[in-house]
Chains A and B, each alone.
Chain A
Protein backbone atom coordinates (compact mmCIF):
# COMPACT_ATOMS: atom_id res chain seq x y z
CA UNK A 1 0.00 0.00 0.00
CA UNK A 2 1.02 3.58 -0.51
CA UNK A 3 2.06 5.66 2.46
CA UNK A 4 3.68 9.01 3.07
CA UNK A 5 5.88 9.86 6.02
CA UNK A 6 6.69 13.38 7.10
CA UNK A 7 8.86 14.45 10.00
CA UNK A 8 9.28 15.97 12.45
CA UNK A 9 5.72 16.51 13.60
CA UNK A 10 6.59 19.59 15.63
CA UNK A 11 9.58 21.90 15.49
CA UNK A 12 10.54 25.05 17.36
CA UNK A 13 13.48 26.91 15.88
CA UNK A 14 15.05 30.32 16.58
CA UNK A 15 15.18 33.01 13.93
CA UNK A 16 18.24 32.63 11.74
CA UNK A 17 18.63 28.90 12.30
CA UNK A 18 18.53 26.36 9.44
CA UNK A 19 15.60 24.14 8.60
CA UNK A 20 15.25 20.67 7.15
CA UNK A 21 11.91 18.91 6.81
CA UNK A 22 11.81 15.51 5.23
CA UNK A 23 9.14 13.58 3.41
CA UNK A 24 9.26 10.08 2.00
CA UNK A 25 6.73 8.08 0.03
CA UNK A 26 6.36 4.31 -0.07
CA UNK A 27 4.52 2.00 -2.39
CA UNK A 28 4.65 4.05 -5.58
CA UNK A 29 7.22 5.07 -8.15
CA UNK A 30 7.84 8.39 -9.84
CA UNK A 31 5.21 10.33 -7.93
CA UNK A 32 4.62 14.04 -8.14
CA UNK A 33 5.71 15.57 -4.82
CA UNK A 34 4.51 18.79 -3.24
CA UNK A 35 5.24 21.05 -0.29
CA UNK A 36 2.40 23.20 1.01
CA UNK A 37 2.30 25.74 3.82
CA UNK A 38 -0.77 26.61 5.79
CA UNK A 39 -0.83 29.68 8.03
CA UNK A 40 -3.10 29.56 11.06
CA UNK A 41 -6.76 29.43 10.02
CA UNK A 42 -5.95 29.92 6.36
CA UNK A 43 -5.78 27.98 3.14
CA UNK A 44 -3.04 25.98 1.50
CA UNK A 45 -0.20 27.73 -0.24
CA UNK A 46 1.79 25.65 -2.71
CA UNK A 47 5.50 26.22 -2.14
CA UNK A 48 7.23 23.67 -4.37
CA UNK A 49 6.40 20.72 -6.56
CA UNK A 50 8.50 18.13 -8.28
CA UNK A 51 7.80 15.78 -11.16
CA UNK A 52 11.13 13.93 -10.93
CA UNK A 53 14.54 13.66 -9.28
CA UNK A 54 16.26 17.02 -9.27
CA UNK A 55 13.25 18.73 -10.89
CA UNK A 56 11.87 21.40 -8.60
CA UNK A 57 9.39 24.14 -9.43
CA UNK A 58 9.01 27.04 -7.04
CA UNK A 59 5.69 28.75 -6.69
CA UNK A 60 6.55 31.49 -4.22
CA UNK A 61 9.85 33.42 -3.98
CA UNK A 62 11.14 33.16 -0.44
CA UNK A 63 14.03 31.95 1.65
CA UNK A 64 12.92 28.34 1.44
CA UNK A 65 14.23 25.74 -0.98
CA UNK A 66 13.35 22.16 -1.86
CA UNK A 67 15.29 19.21 -3.12
CA UNK A 68 14.47 15.75 -4.40
CA UNK A 69 17.60 13.64 -4.05
CA UNK A 70 15.75 10.36 -4.58
CA UNK A 71 12.59 9.41 -6.41
CA UNK A 72 10.47 9.20 -3.28
CA UNK A 73 12.22 11.70 -1.03
CA UNK A 74 11.39 15.40 -0.84
CA UNK A 75 13.18 17.83 1.45
CA UNK A 76 12.24 21.37 2.42
CA UNK A 77 15.11 23.53 3.63
CA UNK A 78 16.11 26.96 4.72
CA UNK A 79 19.52 28.39 5.56
CA UNK A 80 18.10 31.09 7.86
CA UNK A 81 14.57 30.98 9.19
CA UNK A 82 12.41 34.08 9.47
CA UNK A 83 9.55 34.66 11.88
CA UNK A 84 7.21 34.63 8.90
CA UNK A 85 8.22 31.02 8.15
CA UNK A 86 6.12 29.82 11.08
CA UNK A 87 3.22 27.68 9.97
CA UNK A 88 1.99 24.21 9.23
CA UNK A 89 3.86 22.43 6.45
CA UNK A 90 2.33 19.60 4.51
CA UNK A 91 4.00 17.22 2.11
CA UNK A 92 1.86 15.50 -0.48
CA UNK A 93 2.12 13.20 -3.47
CA UNK A 94 0.02 11.94 -6.32
CA UNK A 95 0.37 9.68 -9.31
CA UNK A 96 2.10 11.35 -12.23
CA UNK A 97 0.02 11.66 -15.36
CA UNK A 98 -3.22 10.68 -13.65
CA UNK A 99 -5.27 13.85 -13.35
CA UNK A 100 -7.99 12.07 -11.44
CA UNK A 101 -5.49 11.01 -8.81
CA UNK A 102 -6.12 12.81 -5.51
CA UNK A 103 -3.35 14.27 -3.43
CA UNK A 104 -2.26 12.13 -0.50
CA UNK A 105 -0.97 14.19 2.38
CA UNK A 106 1.44 13.56 5.19
CA UNK A 107 0.49 14.39 8.76
CA UNK A 108 2.23 17.75 8.60
CA UNK A 109 4.91 19.62 10.55
CA UNK A 110 4.03 22.46 12.86
CA UNK A 111 6.93 24.90 12.70
CA UNK A 112 7.27 27.72 15.19
CA UNK A 113 10.04 30.23 14.64
CA UNK A 114 10.85 32.18 17.80
Chain B
Protein backbone atom coordinates (compact mmCIF):
# COMPACT_ATOMS: atom_id res chain seq x y z
CA UNK B 1 0.00 0.00 0.00
CA UNK B 2 1.79 3.09 -1.24
CA UNK B 3 -0.73 5.73 -0.21
CA UNK B 4 -0.81 6.90 -3.82
CA UNK B 5 -3.23 4.97 -6.02
CA UNK B 6 -3.29 5.10 -9.79
CA UNK B 7 -5.93 3.72 -12.12
CA UNK B 8 -6.00 2.02 -14.49
CA UNK B 9 -2.82 -0.06 -14.09
CA UNK B 10 -2.75 -0.84 -17.80
CA UNK B 11 -4.32 1.00 -20.73
CA UNK B 12 -4.30 0.30 -24.44
CA UNK B 13 -5.75 3.02 -26.62
CA UNK B 14 -5.91 3.95 -30.26
CA UNK B 15 -4.59 7.26 -31.54
CA UNK B 16 -8.09 8.67 -31.93
CA UNK B 17 -9.32 7.69 -28.47
CA UNK B 18 -9.80 9.90 -25.44
CA UNK B 19 -8.98 8.46 -22.04
CA UNK B 20 -8.06 9.70 -18.59
CA UNK B 21 -5.56 8.52 -15.99
CA UNK B 22 -6.50 8.97 -12.36
CA UNK B 23 -4.35 9.43 -9.29
CA UNK B 24 -5.45 9.68 -5.67
CA UNK B 25 -3.25 10.22 -2.64
CA UNK B 26 -4.22 9.48 0.95
CA UNK B 27 -1.15 11.00 2.56
CA UNK B 28 -2.35 14.56 3.12
CA UNK B 29 0.32 15.92 0.79
CA UNK B 30 0.11 19.33 -0.87
CA UNK B 31 1.88 18.71 -4.16
CA UNK B 32 1.13 16.20 -6.91
CA UNK B 33 3.18 15.28 -9.93
CA UNK B 34 2.96 13.50 -13.28
CA UNK B 35 6.07 11.84 -14.65
CA UNK B 36 6.56 9.87 -17.86
CA UNK B 37 9.02 6.97 -18.04
CA UNK B 38 9.73 5.59 -21.50
CA UNK B 39 11.80 2.48 -22.07
CA UNK B 40 15.51 3.10 -21.42
CA UNK B 41 14.92 6.79 -20.68
CA UNK B 42 14.98 8.70 -17.39
CA UNK B 43 11.87 9.84 -15.61
CA UNK B 44 10.60 12.97 -17.33
CA UNK B 45 8.74 15.50 -15.23
CA UNK B 46 5.51 16.54 -16.95
CA UNK B 47 3.42 18.59 -14.52
CA UNK B 48 3.49 19.74 -10.91
CA UNK B 49 0.54 20.97 -8.90
CA UNK B 50 0.91 22.65 -5.52
CA UNK B 51 -2.29 23.27 -3.55
CA UNK B 52 -4.26 22.61 -6.78
CA UNK B 53 -2.31 25.25 -8.74
CA UNK B 54 -0.09 24.19 -11.61
CA UNK B 55 3.48 25.26 -10.88
CA UNK B 56 5.36 23.33 -13.58
CA UNK B 57 4.53 22.43 -17.17
CA UNK B 58 7.63 20.89 -18.66
CA UNK B 59 6.81 21.77 -22.30
CA UNK B 60 4.33 18.93 -22.50
CA UNK B 61 2.32 18.63 -25.76
CA UNK B 62 -1.29 19.76 -25.51
CA UNK B 63 -2.56 16.24 -26.21
CA UNK B 64 -1.82 15.71 -22.49
CA UNK B 65 -4.14 17.77 -20.30
CA UNK B 66 -3.81 17.66 -16.52
CA UNK B 67 -6.54 18.42 -14.02
CA UNK B 68 -6.21 18.83 -10.26
CA UNK B 69 -9.61 19.39 -8.65
CA UNK B 70 -8.20 19.18 -5.11
CA UNK B 71 -4.96 18.30 -3.33
CA UNK B 72 -5.85 14.61 -3.21
CA UNK B 73 -6.76 13.98 -6.83
CA UNK B 74 -4.92 14.39 -10.08
CA UNK B 75 -5.98 13.43 -13.57
CA UNK B 76 -4.21 13.25 -16.90
CA UNK B 77 -6.57 13.52 -19.84
CA UNK B 78 -5.27 11.99 -23.05
CA UNK B 79 -6.42 12.59 -26.61
CA UNK B 80 -5.04 11.96 -30.11
CA UNK B 81 -1.90 10.36 -28.70
CA UNK B 82 0.98 9.04 -30.78
CA UNK B 83 2.65 5.62 -30.51
CA UNK B 84 5.75 7.30 -29.02
CA UNK B 85 3.57 8.34 -26.08
CA UNK B 86 3.52 4.70 -24.98
CA UNK B 87 5.22 4.67 -21.58
CA UNK B 88 4.77 4.21 -17.86
CA UNK B 89 2.97 7.23 -16.42
CA UNK B 90 3.75 7.78 -12.77
CA UNK B 91 1.89 9.95 -10.34
CA UNK B 92 3.60 11.13 -7.17
CA UNK B 93 2.81 13.30 -4.20
CA UNK B 94 4.93 15.25 -1.78
CA UNK B 95 4.40 17.13 1.48
CA UNK B 96 4.88 20.87 1.34
CA UNK B 97 7.88 20.85 3.66
CA UNK B 98 11.39 21.47 2.31
CA UNK B 99 13.57 18.41 1.78
CA UNK B 100 10.59 16.07 1.58
CA UNK B 101 10.75 13.15 -0.87
CA UNK B 102 8.22 12.09 -3.49
CA UNK B 103 5.95 9.12 -2.96
CA UNK B 104 5.02 7.35 -6.18
CA UNK B 105 1.93 5.45 -7.23
CA UNK B 106 2.16 2.11 -9.03
CA UNK B 107 1.93 3.77 -12.41
CA UNK B 108 -0.24 3.29 -15.48
CA UNK B 109 1.39 1.42 -18.33
CA UNK B 110 0.03 3.02 -21.49
CA UNK B 111 0.23 1.53 -24.95
CA UNK B 112 -0.88 3.63 -27.92
CA UNK B 113 -1.67 1.60 -31.01
Q: Do A and B come from one complex?
A: no
Binding site for A on B (CB under 8 A): none
